[in-house]
Amino acid sequence: MRPAFTFREIREAEKTIIEKDGIPSLVLMENAGRNAYDVIRTIVADIEDRLTYIFCGKGNNAGDGFVIARHLAVNGLSVNVVYLTGLSEFKGDALTNLNALQKMNSPFVSFTHFDDLVSADSKFGRAAGNSRLLFIDAILGSGIKGELSKQFSEAIDLINRKKRGKSTVISVDVPSGLMSGEQINPIVSADHTITMGAIKTEMLFGEGKENCGEITIIPIGITDDLLNVHNTYGKYDITAIDVKQSYPKRRKTSYKYTNGKVLILGGSRGLSGSVIMSSLAALSSGAGAVMAAIPKSISSHFSRKLLEVIKTELDETSDGSIAGSSYERLTKQLSKADAVLIGPGLSLNRETRNFLFELIDRCEKNLVIDADALTLIAEEPEILLKRRSKSEIILTPHIGEFSKLSDLKMEDILPDRFLAVREFSARYGVNMILKSETSIACLKTGGIYINPTGNEILASAGSGDVLSGILVSLFAQTKDVKRTMICGNFLHGLIADFYSEKNGNRQTATQQELISLLPRAITQILA
């Protein structure tokens, strides 16, 4: 696991490391620029055929750009450095690297002030018209505050305006203009962002998610172990290696009841699809046995879809949902289960609510709670505090459901979702996966784990049912809440990534198509 920081947190950590641990900032800048150059050569295979422009502001981000320009020139690649301020305004490490670049006196490097580029925009446009372009954005780092100057805004607008099929935009560290908090400035729309040292969480949500493109984290000479010393914030970026090490593997001597027994509770008249999707996902995620307890009225439909699931028919309400007195009917099934899921298609019926609350109170097995069950709990979240059972609970809300659960408005959650989720989990003694454009998992003890997989394919009806089925399957197999959340989030996102790679889009998948990719995803994780 790699440490993750906000913009403010990483600045503070790096400042402390430079001042107290004795790593010179100039060395860090050189490492950053050199490693960024290596990534650029990998990303842009035809760089020799490109017209390359590096846009530089005046701070350390510009210094990174100067280092990149030097390495391009040393390797015989032409580059035009576009600077936005007077050359006399540079200072510190950025000035040192500007001087080094100038003293090369390389025929491969040219310097253009942004005003001159704009005044000759038609000439620039003609020169670039039939060429493949590479824009390297080294204008601004993560420390901007307030409204940008007109010139900086115009430079960002120019890059975005010139971006088209034949051009590639690569941002250095963060897309210029991206801020913490309320976004008031234009942002470079990057195809790739090469970020330094560690992931910055602002890049993973909202405008950051929209504008970063593919993200590559490069080392700058500060090890993860050293960064972890300064990671007092308890946020971590999950890697494929973490998941491989955590994912459950069947023993050769195992049998069906040692490979995780799942019980799924849900479904109601008109909402049978949800519990079917969860059951199918649980089966495809490696559970040794999947049991489902559902209302009688959807039993035949359920059986036609899933032959492998062990089915229990429950009495139902007049609405066709699980009857309020059903807990005693499930004593045998609960005793067999290693983990229980409740919520998919459950309905919001008042009597069914009573069944849900009794289950939360009495069930001694680890619980995953999703969908309609979250909406019912939001009416009385204190039920989580009153329960007699001490088993682990995982809640899986999306942002809207979390707003209801926590009684927080969106504008209170989004500026610091990490704090909001951590406080709720600690208060109610539950673990939580908060689903959004980047899903995070929070333990009730405070650790937060950021999932790197997935895309907008998952923003569709039924996606949460698939995730909850994966989670309860892994919970039954591992008996470990941290491993379950980390591996479950990763696996769910990976099937979306596989689909987009295979089909070339991120919007047409059905949930059954995604579930069909689970075997391939698990194979890759275990390889």
Share of the chain above pLDDT 90, in %: 86
Confidence at residue 482, expressed as pLDDT on a 0 to 100 scale: 98
Q: Is this structure's pTM higher than 0.75?
A: yes
Q: Angle at the Cα of 149 (from 144 to 154), degrees rounded to 5? A: 105
Report whether 290 contacts 310 (CB < 8 A): yes
End-to-end CA distance of the chain: 19
pLDDT tens-digit readout, 283-329:
999 999 999 999 999 998 888 888 899 999 999 999 999 999 999 99
Residue position matching structure tokens 């040292």 = 197
Confidence at residue 273, expressed as pLDDT on a 0 to 100 scale: 93
pLDDT tens-digit readout, 158-179:
999 888 767 899 999 999 999 9
Is the pLDDT assigned to residue 374 strictly greater than 80?
yes
Give me the CATH topology for the region 2-237: Rossmann fold (3.40.50)
The mean per-residue pLDDT over the stretch 512-517 comes to 97
Stronger pLDDT, 62 or 117, i.e. the higher one:
62
What is the three-class DSSP state of 423? helix
Burial class from Cβ neighbours inside 10 Å (0-12, 13-18, 19+) for residue 515 reads buried
Q: Which CATH architecture has domain 243-526?
A: 3-Layer(aba) Sandwich (3.40)
Domain boundaries of the chain, sorted by first residue = 2-237, 243-526
pLDDT tens-digit readout, 440-450:
999 999 999 99
Report whether 48 contacts 33 (CB < 8 A): no
Confidence at residue 305, expressed as pLDDT on a 0 to 100 scale: 81
Please count the other Cβ atoms lying within 10 Å of the Cβ belonging to residue 74.
12
The mean per-residue pLDDT over the stretch 509-524 comes to 97
Structure tokens at 382: 């204190």
- How is 325-365 classified by DSSP, letter by letter? T-TGGGHHHHHH-SEEEE-TT----HHHHHHHHHHHHH--S
Is the pLDDT assigned to residue 125 strictly greater than 80?
no
pLDDT tens-digit readout, 449-498:
999 999 999 999 999 999 999 999 999 999 999 999 999 999 999 999 99
pLDDT tens-digit readout, 17-62:
998 888 899 999 999 999 999 999 999 999 999 999 999 998 999 9
Compute the distance between CA of residue 197 and CA of residue 206 in angstroms, rounded to an integer: 22
Which positions ≥6 away from 376 have C-beta within 8 Å? 346, 348, 352, 353, 356, 357
Which positions ≥6 away from 242 have C-beta within 8 Å? 1, 486
Report whether 132 contacts 46 (CB < 8 A): yes
Beta-bridge mates of residue 56: 83, 138
Confidence at residue 166, expressed as pLDDT on a 0 to 100 scale: 73
